[in-house]
Structure 1
Amino acid sequence: MQRVESEVDLDQILITEDEILGCLARMGKQITADYDGKDLLLVGVLKGAVMVMADLARAIDRHVEMDWMAVSSYGSGTKSSGVVRILKDLDTDVAGRDVLIVEDVVDTGLTLSWLVANLRSRGPSSVRIASLLRKPDAMQMEIDVDYVGFDIPNSFVVGYGLDYGERYRNLRCIATLGEQAHE
């Protein structure tokens, strides 16, 4: 395992790098088939989806365009505030496009539900969702995630783009933190 922080910071590795890359390869193959002949725009949700977006885009065997949005409902804590703010909007017009939102984790579904509604109001041909992780037990809104990598427990996780106080994003795995890391 890559040593980014003290190894005692991590409580448990839930998903290894190899498992993540294998999953994204399968998702990419399915997305390639599903969007054959379509004008696909990947919309990554900053900052957490950077790693997922990069590896998923490379796993899609066709031309894709990419753009980014930054929305926030977390602040600096580990629980969603429920208030969504756009920190960075798209540079691309989505009207008439097939949009695939790329997420790191679907947690409560509140932010993603808002984002889907916002993008649909802009007139795309379709809006679908791909997420590396989903927490079914945390869901507060019914959200249809079209491509799901892994369902995980309702625990706070870090790595592969996910952070705690802007740390741990560059871990190559998904892990939970030990209590001492929260201090």
Structure 2
Amino acid sequence: MMARGTGWNWVLPLMAALLAAQAAVQLAMGRVLICTCGTIELWHGEVNSSGNSQHLSDWYTPSHIVHGFLFYGALWLLMGRRVGVAPRALLATLVEVAWEVVENTPMVINRYREATMALGYTGDSVVNSLADVVAMWLGFALARRLPVWLSVATVLGLELLALWAIRDNLTLNVLMLLWPVDAVRQWQAG
């Protein structure tokens, strides 16, 4: 629930503007609006398919929820109570939107193909990318409401779930993008 005077009245329009800018930039970059299959699925669970990262949610959605937890925690540690939750949510949105744009550049898409298990990765559809920001918001909102121990448990649970289901998660994704490990790549390939 948003209380008066907390900053949400000016932050929410800016967050919406960031989403609109994200979509406009990605469309200008040549990203497809929706899956080229012509449909929008609520969930697409097949990682090694042309539909991965093209629909509203997939096995990488938990990583974006984790982003929200991490952004909330990091911004709380850096800014504490000096800065309200609304401006921190705006900053988290700015970071997530920037990542979504950078993640869908040819340079990063090629890096994913070279260094990770995402050999056929073509980038996100605009709809998937926008949904990733919404997933981050969910994680941010949960982190705000949950006790720290439950936030940590939720992050660990999401990471372990993705690791079990697809042999990938945010931790491995970052590792493989920054410092590829052949043993991890071979394990991920099954």
Structure with bigger strand share is 1
State which structure, 1 or 2, has the greater radius of gyration over its C-alpha atoms: 2
TM-score, normalised via structure 2 length: 0.28
Structure with bigger helix share is 2
TM-score, normalised via structure 1 length: 0.29
